[in-house]
Chains A and B, each alone.
Chain A
């Protein structure tokens, strides 16, 4: 079956512009996660969805970052007034229920965001 897909694969934007990144999780997966990987760093947790609600938003770096999930499926990560430090690969993952002991998180290929 289809894996996690993300679009666009690459996004170049100018400082100050808004961007939207999209994630399509594996069908039937109720849990969805956003991470980002800055150059030379590990993956940094951003936000976690269980269904359409986000019980953990603790990793969002600032109020310029927001995310939503609709219909328990597609999620959109929005970055407003982008800054150069937002440049990173943004990765989305999904899992069946969200419990780490039983659920593997399956990652998409990521969106590479470059802010000029």
Chain B
């Protein structure tokens, strides 16, 4: 059972426009959500996170929105830059499971100049 789902395997966006990456989850015990970015042949790097007590967290060009009732979160990148081209993974954790992260399948973002 896939507890964290990213239904779009890929997304293409023009430079300067907004990129919106989506993620859905099924486990209501998840209370902390993260986005990781991965370049080819490298490990994922942490991008931004949000606790379930919030509905928005912003860090520069990156904003994560959480809709608990819909069990949905999204990552907005504004403005998108060619260097943002990478695979983005959504991840979730439950407070009673230590640091164990459950990842989605990833969305490959391509930002075209």
Contact = CB atoms under 8 A, between A and B. Distances in A.
Interface of A: 4, 31, 33, 35, 40-45, 48, 50, 55-56, 58-59, 91, 93, 95, 98-101, 103-110
Contacts of A35: 101, 103
23 contacts: A31-B98, A31-B99, A40-B105, A41-B105, A42-B103, A44-B103, A45-B103, A48-B100, A55-B98, A58-B100, A59-B100, A91-B44, A93-B43, A98-B99, A99-B98, A99-B99, A100-B93, A100-B95, A105-B46, A107-B36, A107-B43, A107-B45, A109-B43
Give the 10 A-B CB pairs with smallest separation, nearest first.
Answer: A107-B43, A42-B103, A43-B103, A42-B105, A100-B93, A98-B99, A104-B46, A100-B99, A107-B44, A100-B32
B100 A33 contact: yes
A27 to B, nearest CB: 17
Contacts of A99: 98-99
Contacts, number: 71
Interface in B17-49: 32, 34, 36, 41-46
A66 to B, nearest CB: 18
B43 A101 contact: no
Interface centre among A55, A99, A100, A109 (most CB of B within 10 A): A100
Contacts of A101: 32, 51
Interface residues of B, number: 26
Contacts of A104: 46
Contacts of A45: 100-103
Nearest to B41: A109
